[in-house]
């Protein structure tokens, strides 16, 4: 049965199938509530009656939902609808790492290391949360179009407990090409199993093929247990020795020879970027090295004969013979202790509380402890100042291996929101719009209203356009129905007056006041605006007022007359200056003979303008000229 086009959970519309396996099918979907693309994984319908598969499907959602990391696919929602079990997760627009390896003729070693570090970072976060993925393979690693790596599919992940001992047979999980030897044997599975699987992925990125292949799953699994990996001869000069050594150590059969933690692997990968041919990857000591016996120490006949008669001298000579061996045993013991401490003894510190501390201050504190801060996200927070740390992992007071890493989330400070206008909108639509903006609807009051129909918002406690903090509460009042018949006001702007009046009768409204005003943009006789506005509900037969364009505002040139009286001035010539009052600009400035008596200045401007008239640099008077009127001067 096809599910394409179906709306799941009332909000996720399934658009197309983008992947699938034996347990589930993955669809690209559209979340209509948050208006974004998501991926929806749906348990195959033929498996919904199988309790084991349902439990595994639920475990995937629980495992992944407990993790928050930029290199792990984020889980948004989980649900059941009829016989459909689904997980809603982040949609990554690119393909899988497997697709990328197949399509690429060659991966540069720096790119391989970067991808491996991103995958390791995701695995490290899972391991810190006591979760072993158990199915690391290129098919479960997504590559966004921006190159960002996302680890997905925690369908067979488990918490690190005794439950990680897997029975041989049908319960052996994962893809056989990426099995660890202990998975193939059905033995104990822990974090080092993920390291082996990642080693297989790195080998495949280097060579384009998996290290072990065969005709059946059993033959491949046996090779993981028994065979050593072989590097293709053609790759000898293309793979840096440091990267090859890292892959070899990750693919060790014995757990004790493998990397003991993902942090060790990350440290070597980072070092390999700057030292691709470096010899820094250390081999761990095998727990199965045979015990070596030291043979008996013989005595020469000559010495025996020489000291045959003296018991004390014989014992002294025997003691001298043992002194070199005592020093050798002491040296080997000292060397063994150093190797043991270097490889098996970890230093621990107590994680400090760096919450609500600036990132720079926290870095200074943790650097002294040989702890690195890793920013995994930046989020708005109304309580934590911008630049300070919101949360940390591990938590304060927990032990941490040194050197170590603390994942932190940094505050972007409070998020502000511009309140939208929901007046006149249906209740559900208004609530959805407010919540999508990040506001919280605290309460809704229902009251009778004669202007709006039932179910329509008639008041909001915060006026639209006001800027408030994220998660601010807002109260609404919703109409409980009018006491009269209502109609919805249509839009009449842009209509000729006669057509608008005809539309009133059709809509059950009446003509109100008609006002005229000049307009540079709207032709004469066309409606500029209306009251009530379009879209609101009003009582039937309500009068609608209209503003009609009277065309462009007329503009008539004027003449400004200035009279000069000879007895007012000492000189024969005087400067005359005319300035606009509104902006101080000079529109006329010239010297005139006093004997001219009447000075006539042509004026050509627009609207109604106030002028200051200066004669002989003294303000003589202020005049107002209305260019819109034809009469007058």
Same domain, 102 and 227: yes
* pLDDT band per the 50, 70, 90 thresholds, residue 189: confident
Q: CA of 291: how far to CAs of 252, 329, 367, 504, 509, in Å? A: 22, 14, 43, 105, 105
CATH of the domain at 440: 3.30.10.20
Same domain, 130 and 248: yes
- 187 located within any domain: yes
In this prediction, residue 201 carries a pLDDT of: 96
Same domain, 246 and 163: yes
Same domain, 535 and 569: no
Last residue of a domain, one of 411, 432, 451: 411
- 432 located within any domain: yes
CATH of the domain at 617: 2.60.40
Residue 167 scores a pLDDT above 90: no
Is pTM beyond 0.75? Reply is: no
Same domain, 194 and 254: yes
- 335 located within any domain: no
Instruction: Compute the average pLDDT of residues 231-239.
Output: 77
Same domain, 256 and 120: yes
- 217 located within any domain: yes
Same domain, 593 and 617: yes
pLDDT digits (tens, 9 = 90+) for 468-499: 888 889 999 998 876 667 788 999 999 999 99
Instruction: Compute the average pLDDT of residues 161-168.
Output: 37
Last residue of a domain, one of 74, 90, 106: 90
Same domain, 105 and 213: yes
Residue 160 scores a pLDDT above 80: no
Last residue of a domain, one of 219, 246, 274: 274
**477 contacts 462 by C-beta, under 8 angstroms:** no
Same domain, 105 and 215: yes
In this prediction, residue 309 carries a pLDDT of: 45
In this prediction, residue 161 carries a pLDDT of: 42
Distance from C-alpha of 227 to C-alpha of 222, rounded to nearest angstrom? 8
In the block, which residue shows the tokens 């792990």?
A: 72
Q: Which residue range forms the structural domain that includes residue 499?
A: 486-549
Same domain, 248 and 134: yes
Which phi and psi angles does 622 have, rounded to 5°?
Answer: -115, 135
- 387 located within any domain: yes
Instruction: Compute the average pLDDT of residues 386-407.
Output: 90
Neighbours of 73 (CB within 10 A): 22
H or E element at residue 42: strand 36-43
In this prediction, residue 518 carries a pLDDT of: 87
Residue 203 scores a pLDDT above 70: yes
Please give the tally of structural domains in the chain: 6
Q: CA of 399: how far to CAs of 347, 352, 404, 432, in Å? A: 10, 10, 10, 44
- 27 located within any domain: yes
How far does the chain reach from its first CA to its final CA, in angstroms? Answer: 87
- 290 located within any domain: no
So which residues are the catalytic ones? 135
- 472 located within any domain: yes
Same domain, 109 and 253: yes
In this prediction, residue 104 carries a pLDDT of: 84
In the block, which residue shows the tokens 């040296």?
A: 331
Q: Which residue has the higher pLDDT, 308 or 437?
A: 437
In this prediction, residue 341 carries a pLDDT of: 56
CATH of the domain at 16: 3.30.200.20
Instruction: Compute the average pLDDT of residues 312-321.
Output: 61
Same domain, 358 and 492: no
pLDDT digits (tens, 9 = 90+) for 8-54: 888 899 999 888 776 788 999 999 888 889 999 988 887 877 777 77
């Amino acid at each position: 049965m096809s599910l394409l086009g179906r709306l799941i959970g009332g909000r996720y519309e399934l658009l197309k199938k983008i992947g699938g396996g034996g347990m589930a099918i993955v669809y690209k979907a559209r979340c209509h509530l948050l208006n974004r693309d998501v991926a929806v994984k749906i348990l195959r319908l033929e498996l919904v009656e199988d309790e084991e598969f349902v439990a595994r499907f639920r475990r995937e959602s629980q495992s992944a939902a407990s993790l928050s990391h930029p290199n792990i696919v984020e889980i948004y929602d989980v649900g059941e609808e009829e016989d459909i079990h689904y997980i809603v997760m982040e949609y990554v627009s690119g393909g899988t790492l497997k697709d990328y390896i197949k399509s690429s003729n060659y991966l540069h070693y720096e790119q391989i290391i970067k991808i491996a570090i991103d995958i390791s970072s995701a695995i490290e976060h899972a391991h810190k949360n006591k979760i072993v993925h158990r199915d690391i393979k290129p098919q479960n690693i997504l590559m966004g179009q921006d190159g960002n790596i996302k680890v997905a599919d925690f369908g067979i992940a488990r918490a690190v407990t005794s439950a990680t001992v897997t029975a041989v047979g049908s319960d052996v999980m994962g893809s056989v090409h990426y099995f660890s030897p202990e998975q193939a044997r059905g033995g104990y599975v822990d974090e080092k199993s993920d390291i082996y699987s990642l080693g297989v992925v790195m080998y495949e990125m280097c060579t384009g093929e998996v290290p072990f292949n065969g005709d059946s799953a059993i033959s491949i699994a046996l090779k993981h247990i028994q065979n050593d990996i072989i590097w293709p001869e053609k790759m000898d000069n293309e793979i840096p020795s440091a990267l090859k050594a890292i892959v070899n150590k990750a693919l060790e059969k014995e757990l004790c020879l493998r990397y003991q933690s993902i942090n060790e692997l990350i440290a070597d990968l980072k070092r390999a970027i700057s030292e691709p041919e470096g010899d820094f990857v250390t081999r761990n000591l095998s727990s199965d090295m045979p015990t070596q016996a030291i043979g008996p120490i013989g005595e020469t006949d000559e010495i025996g004969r020489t000291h045959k008669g003296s018991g004390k001298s014989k014992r002294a000579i025997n003691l001298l013979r043992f002194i070199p061996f005592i020093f050798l045993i002491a040296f080997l013991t000292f060397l063994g202790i150093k190797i043991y401490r270097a490889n098996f003894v970890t230093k621990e510190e107590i994680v400090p509380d760096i919450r609500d501390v600036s990132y720079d201050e926290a870095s200074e504190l943790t650097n002294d402890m040989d702890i690195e801060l890793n920013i995994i996200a930046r989020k708005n927070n109304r309580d934590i100042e911008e630049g300070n740390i919101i949360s940390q992992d591990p938590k304060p007071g927990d032990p941490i291996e040194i050197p170590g890493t603390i994942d932190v989330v940094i505050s972007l400070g409070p998020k502000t929101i511009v309140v939208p206008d929901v007046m006149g909108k249906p209740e559900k639509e208004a609530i959805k719009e407010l919540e999508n903006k990040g506001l919280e609807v605290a309460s809704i009051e229902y009251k009778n209203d004669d202007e709006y129909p039932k179910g329509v918002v008639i008041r909001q406690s915060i006026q639209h356009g006001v800027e408030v903090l994220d998660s601010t509460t807002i109260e609404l009042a919703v109409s409980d129905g009018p006491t009269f018949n209502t109609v919805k006001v249509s839009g009449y702007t842009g209509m000729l007056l006669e057509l608008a009046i005809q539309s009133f009768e059709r809509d059950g409204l009446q003509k109100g006041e008609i006002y005229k005003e000049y307009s540079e943009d709207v032709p004469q006789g066309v409606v500029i605006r209306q009251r009530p506005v379009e879209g609101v509900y009003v009582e039937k037969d309500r009068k609608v007022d209209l503003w009609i364009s009277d065309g462009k505002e007329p503009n008539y040139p004027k003449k400004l007359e200035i009279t000069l009286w000879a007895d007012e001035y000492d000189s024969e010539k005087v400067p005359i200056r005319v300035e606009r009052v509104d902006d101080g600009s000079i529109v006329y400035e010239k010297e005139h003979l006093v004997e001219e008596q009447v000075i006539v200045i042509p004026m050509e401007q627009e609207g109604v303008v106030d002028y200051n008239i200066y004669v002989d640099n003294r303000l003589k008077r202020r005049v107002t000229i209305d260019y819109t009127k034809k009469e007058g001067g």
